[in-house]
Amino acid sequence: PFCSLVVTGMIALASYGFLVNRHNPSAAWYQYLGQFYYAAAFIFFGYLVGTLSMPVGIILISGPLIGMIFFELRYIVPACVVSVIGLITLTYASAFDLLPYAPIMPADRSDLTQVSSLWLLSFYVFVMPYMITAIYVADMTFGHWRERGIRARELSRTDVLTGIPNRRSVLDILEKEIARTWRHGPPLAVALLDLDHFKKINDTWGHPVGDAALQHATQLLQGTLRQCDTMGRFGGEEFMLVLPDTSLEGAQAMVERCREILEKNPMPQDDAPALRITASFGLTCNAHCMTLSSEQLIRAADDALYDAKRAGRNRVATTLWALSPSAAELS
């Protein structure tokens, strides 16, 4: 019955893990709980079949190695230490006749159910160094793989030139903020900005200067935005600003500060006059309609950006999805 209870607990814990993974994939408490439950179950079943049996040895070596593929080392080491200490304690208890060895084995096979302290010592002298070395090498290997995977994911979501989120990444962030708005209610503002006459900068000064202008504008705007805001490169000289928990009025003030920062801080050049950089901004907000999709918000911001360019550039225009383009408010 106790074996059935342990197995049922493992199944229940694994099933609950799918639910935890949906809401908080990096939940540390669950990862520790899972590791220690596995360690306790391993000690229990290892005692039943014999702590020095081949199955226990195989699992003792392979368990941590497999675990390091899915978990970080900090979750595995404590459970591994508990498992080893538990098995050693039970084995010595059997060696000194305090507990029966391998109680699940047939009682008439003394060769399977008895262990001497000398044989026990020699076993751990040979096994433990190998186990420690194998775990160390595996951690180095898997850790390197994890770092490469994390780095590859970062590169795939980051614009190489400016170091900010690329189009795919900023769109993902926008979707998450929209979902949060639907659940909790604070309004969300979105702005698209386009550097004015950027083609002329490239044609006049060359593409290296154009790249430097993009980096200069990014640095200025990043320093103006709040920590909760996100700036992403939307394409070419166009950028997106995602401003969570921001009303239309608050977003207008924020975006206007961004516009002024660009206008008042020209980009210095070696052996050439400082390059004046300005931008046109299109702004929208979902405060009037929390159910707007990302496509609707982007289209409204794009319409507002077009209005800002048509009105002379270097300005902020706002448009709400429910309003017609002619009702856009220029500021």
Q: In this structure, are residues 328 and 304 in contact, taking their beta carbons and an 8 Å threshold?
A: yes
Q: What is the C-alpha to C-alpha distance for residues 84 and 106, in angstroms, rounded to an integer?
A: 25
Instruction: Please answer whether residues 237 and 313 qualify as being in contact, where contact means their C-beta atoms are separated by less than 8 angstroms.
Output: no
Name the helix (H) or strand (E) containing 236.
none
Report the C-alpha gap between 249 and 68 in whole angstroms. Answer: 50
Would you say 235 and 177 are in contact if contact means Cβ atoms under 8 Å apart?
Answer: no
* Cβ burial 178-217 (10 Å sphere, 16+ → b, else e): beebeeeeebbbbbbbbbbbbeebbeeeeeebbebbbebb
* Residue 330, strand partner residues: 317
Distance between CA atoms of 244 and 301, rounded to whole angstroms?
Answer: 15
Q: How far apart are CA 92 and CA 201, in angstroms?
A: 79
Model confidence at 115, pLDDT cuts 50, 70, 90, reads low
Q: Where are the alpha helices (DSSP H) in the chain?
A: 2-23, 28-49, 54-70, 73-95, 110-113, 117-156, 167-184, 198-205, 207-224, 248-264, 294-310
Q: Does residue 150 register a pLDDT over 50?
A: yes
322 — pLDDT class (breaks 50, 70, 90)? low
**CA dist., res. 329 & res. 219, Å (int):** 28
Overall average pLDDT of the 236-263 stretch: 96
pLDDT of residue 216: 97
Percent of the chain with pLDDT over 70: 88
Residue 247 sits at φ, ψ, to 5 deg, of -75, 170
Q: What is the pTM of this model?
A: 0.58
Q: Which residues of 255-272 are buried (b: 16+ CB within 10 A; e: fewer)?
A: beebbeebeebebeeeee
| Contact status, residue 300 vs residue 294, Cβ threshold 8 Å | no
pLDDT digits (tens, 9 = 90+) for 25-49: 778 888 888 889 888 988 988 888 7
More confident residue, 11 or 228: 228
Residue 331: pLDDT band (50, 70, 90) is very low
- Amino acid residing at 292: L
pLDDT at 281 over 90: yes
Whether the pLDDT of residue 325 is over 50: the answer is no
* Mean per-residue pLDDT over the chain, rounded: 85
- In terms of residues, how long is the chain? 331
Per the model's pLDDT, the better-predicted residue between 275 and 72 turns out to be: 275
Domains delineated in the chain: 2-156 (no CATH), 167-330 (3.30.70.270)
Q: What is the pLDDT of residue 116?
A: 56
Radius of gyration of the chain (CA): 31
* 245 — pLDDT class (breaks 50, 70, 90): very high
pLDDT digits (tens, 9 = 90+) for 300-314: 999 999 999 999 999
213-228: average pLDDT: 96
The whole-number pLDDT of residue 328 equals 42
Are 307 and 319 in contact, with CB atoms under 8 Å apart?
Answer: yes
